[in-house]
Amino acid sequence: MQDSSTSAIETHRSVNRIVVFGMVAIVAILAGAAFFLFASLPDANAFNSRVEQLFIENNDLTSNAEVKLLEILANSGTAFSDTLRSYRLVILVLMVFATALLMATLVFLVTAVMLNRRMSVIIKQGIQVSSLVINRGQNTVSVNDLELKLTPAALETLSVLAEARMDDDLLSGSEIEAVISGRSASDCDEAAGATRIKRLRDTMGNQLISEVLVKNISRQGYTLDVEKAVIRMI
């Protein structure tokens, strides 16, 4: 229990570190992008400076048309400066929004992954079978308070697994087929027993229950992952 708590604390700390490092990376990347973007924008006063230089270099322009043209250029420079300032403000707002959005996305993804892991743990550890009643006459099996209707073949497979579990035995696919068919295990195919297990799980129709209940131990065989004391056969 203590090891489980320690593992949970370490996992929580690891997730927190990932979130913090991810946020720092997002801020750093967007800050760098914003810096290069603002650095590449032209100076807001560049146009005005050029117009001012034209006034200085052409102070001999005296006609009304020429003076009017320079005034238009000066007004255009001012408008350009105001527009560029508004662009800078818009870019800044967009950068802030993008930073907040990416941070929220990171937190959401990490939270989703953690919830998925917790659900997996709950599915594997949280379901405790306190009662397994096999009713041959009605072709039903009751797992805790859940009653499932099975086909005769599926019920026969489940009964064989239950009897083996009460004897602390593990059955291979060929042994399951041998018990049901009445033949020798050497004359039976491993795939036939595996097919019976698959049909049992399909017939139970509840993936959660079937995956928790019927276990396949690699290179050893199939068994019911329940205590012997909870099994009853009618």
Helix axes 64-121, 2-40, angle to 10 degrees: 170
Amino acid identity of residue 192, one-letter, is: A
Confidence of residue 126 (pLDDT cuts 50, 70, 90): low
Of 161, 150, 164, 176, the C-alpha closest to 213 is 161
Strands 231-233, 221-224: pairing is unpaired
Question: 22-31, 120-129, 166-175: which range is least confident on average?
Answer: 120-129
Read off the tokens for 67.
């003076």
Q: What is the mean pLDDT of the chain?
A: 76
For 44-89, what is each residue's pLDDT tens digit? Answer: 566 666 666 766 666 665 566 666 766 666 666 666 666 777 777 7
Confidence of residue 4 (pLDDT cuts 50, 70, 90): very low
Question: 15-19, 205-209, 225-229: which range is least confident on average?
Answer: 205-209
Q: What percentage of the chain reaches a pLDDT higher than 90?
A: 0
Q: Radius of gyration (Cα) for the chain, nearest Å?
A: 37
Close Cβ partners of 93 (under 8 Å, ≥ 6 residues apart): none
CA torsion angle for 192, 197, 203, 209 (degrees, to 10)?
A: -170
Question: Which residue shows structure tokens 């300032």?
Answer: 85
Confidence of residue 2 (pLDDT cuts 50, 70, 90): very low
Predicted pLDDT at 145 = 76
The residue ranges of DSSP E strands in 102-144, in sequence order, are 132-135, 140-143
Query: Per-residue pLDDT averaged across 14-28, rounded?
Result: 76
Rounded Cα distance between 55 and 59, Å, is 6
Residue 233 has pLDDT above 80, yes or no: yes
Beta bridge partners of 186: none
Query: Per-residue pLDDT averaged across 202-216, rounded?
Result: 70
Helix axes 152-166, 190-204, angle to 10 degrees: 110
Q: Give φ, ψ of 167 to 5 degrees.
A: -95, 5
Rounded Cα distance between 176 and 184, Å, is 10
For 139-155, what is each residue's pLDDT tens digit? Answer: 888 887 778 888 888 88
Rounded to 5 degrees, what angle do the CA atoms 137, 152, 172 make? 120
**CB-neighbour burial class of residue 32 (10 A; exposed 0-12, middle 13-18, buried 19+):** exposed
Rounded Cα distance between 191 and 176, Å, is 10
User: 25: helix, coil or strand?
Assistant: helix
pLDDT top residue among 9 and 113:
113
pLDDT top residue among 228 and 48:
228
Residue 234 has pLDDT above 80, yes or no: yes
Residue 3 has pLDDT above 50, yes or no: no
